[in-house]
Every structure is written in C-alpha cells, then in structure tokens.
Structure 1
C-alpha cells in the first residue's frame, strides 16, 4: 500500500487548495491510497448505505457503508462488488476496484482510492465537512485485504 495523500490541511499541496475550496474544504478530507492489485476490502462490518455510480461531489463512483457510529466512503472506484447489493458487508469482504472515475483522477492524480470517514455526530463546520482522519478510526492496511 502506498499512501499518496493523508488527511488534513498540513498534508495538502498548496496547488490543491483551490480544488478543495471549491467543495468548501480547508484541506484533504480523507486518505488517498494505491494498492498494487487495485482490489479494496472492507476494514469493518457494516450496512451498505449507498452505491453511487456517478460524479457526485468529486468522488466519482463510490460506496458508502455505515457502522454503529461512522459512515465510511470508498471513492473513485472503477467498479464495486455485486455482493454489496445484499445490504451488508463483512470485515474483509471485497468492496470493489480502485480506479479513475472522478475528474480529479483523470486530470490530476491517477487511479487511487480516496477513503473517508464521517462520524454520525460530526462537526460539519470543521473545515472538512465533518470528515475525520481515517487513521484515527481503522487500520488502513485492512483495506488491502488479509
């Protein structure tokens, strides 16, 4: 796993601030990663909330899941597993393939996973639209599989 951009203002290249400001952010609101096999696995057991096929909010195609206290976002996907349509995901279950489904991927960054976490009770005015550092919640290595 290669982490290409961590969460936060201090981890955001100055040239990217205009891009993030467009979405009301003061810095990067997730963690960007690249995996050699491009396969993504769930680090938690959760309920599937949404499978977004399009260019929503700059995230491209994404999967949103819910644990007891957080939403988890797997963004910029090329595809997701048909098994997610069952409504539940197990820890270690295949989510999908990272890709280049957002405009940012195509023109700026290349194929990667943008992984974001937002608590149910979040501070939407924290400069990151309520998102928090994913590394404070899960072991990111689990996204690459066992």
Structure 2
C-alpha cells in the first residue's frame, strides 16, 4: 500500500486546487492510496448505503458504507463485490477493486482508491463538504487486508 495524497489543503498539489475548487473544496477531501494487488477490504463493520455506478461527480464508481457515526466512501473503483448487495459488511471483507473511474485517473498517477470519511452529522462548512481526515478514524492498513 502506498499513500499518494493525504487529506487536507497542506497535502494538495497546487495544480489540483482549481479542480477541488470546482467541487467547492479548499483541498483534498480524502486519502488517495495505491494497492499492489488492487483489492480493497473494509476497515470496519457497517451497512451498505449506496453502490454508485460510474458518475461524473469526480468519484466515479464508488461504495458508501455507514459504520457507527461515519460514512465511508471507497471511490474510483473498477468493480465491487457482489456480496455488497446483501447490505451488510464485516471488517476485513473484500469490497472490490481499485481502478481509474472518474476524473481522478486523469489528474493523478493512474488507478488508485480515493477513501473519504464523513460524519453522519458533518460540519459542512469545514471547507471539505463535511469530510474529515480518514487517518483520524481508521488504520489505513486495514484497507489492504492487513
């Protein structure tokens, strides 16, 4: 696992500020990660809220999971597991394959996972549309099945 961009304004490359501003953000609202084997695993138990096909909203194909007080977003996927259609997720469960869907592939280093976390009751005025630093909530190594 390699983190290619962390959360926040101070971790955002200057050439990406116009892209984030287009979506009303002051900086990167998640963590971008590249996995050697491309497989992504859930870092927590939760409930599947949404399985999004490839939208042009910047996230591409993504999975949204609610776990306790947070929503977890797994974005830029090539595919997701059919098991997610059951509606529940267990910690360590296979979620899908990272990919290059969305704008992220064009402005980044190729296929990667954009992982974001938003509290159920977010501070939408924080400059990141309510998203918070994922590293403050979960151990990112769990995304790699560790």
TM norm. shorter chain > 0.5 = yes
Assess, with a 3 A threshold, how the Cα gap between structure 1 residues 56 and 50 changes in structure 2: closer, same or farther.
farther
Partner of 1:42: 42
Unaligned runs of 5+ in 1: none
- TM norm structure 1: 0.97
Q: Tell me, yes or no, if the aligned pair for 2:64 and 2:73 is still in contact at 8 Å.
A: yes
Which one has a larger percent strand, Structure 1 or Structure 2? 2
The answer (yes or no) to whether the contact 2:116–2:132 under 8 Å persists in 1 is yes
In structure 2, what is the equivalent of residue 2 of structure 1? 2
Q: Distance in 2 between matches of 1:65 and 1:56?
A: 20
1:81 aligned partner: 81
Does structure 1 residue 122 correspond to structure 2 residue 105?
no
Deviation at 1:108, TM superposition (A): 1.8
Question: Deviations for 1:22-41, whole angstroms, at most 9, x for unmatched residues?
Answer: 00000000000001000000
What's the secondary structure of 2:57's corresponding residue? helix
Q: Any idea what SS the aligned residue of 2:51 has?
A: strand
Q: Runs of 5+ in structure 2 lacking a partner?
A: none
Cα offset, 1:56, TM superposition: 4.6
Instruction: Measure the CA separation in 2 of the matches of 1:104 and 1:113.
Output: 9
TM (norm. structure 2) is 0.97
Alignment-derived partner of residue 132 in structure 1: 132
Cα distance in 2 for residues equivalent to 1:84 and 1:77: 14
State how far apart, in whole Å, the 1-side matches of 2:103 and 2:14 are.
19
1:52 correspondence with 2:33: no
In the alignment, the residues of structure 2 paired with residue 11 and residue 108 of structure 1 have an alpha-carbon distance, to the nearest angstrom, of: 15
| Deviation beyond 6 Å, 4+ runs, structure 1 | none
Match of 1:15 in 2: 15
- Structure 1 residue 118: Cα displacement: 0.1
Q: Please give the alpha-carbon distance, in whole angstroms, between the structure 2 residues aligned to 1:104 and 1:136.
A: 23
After superposition, the CA RMSD in angstroms is 0.7
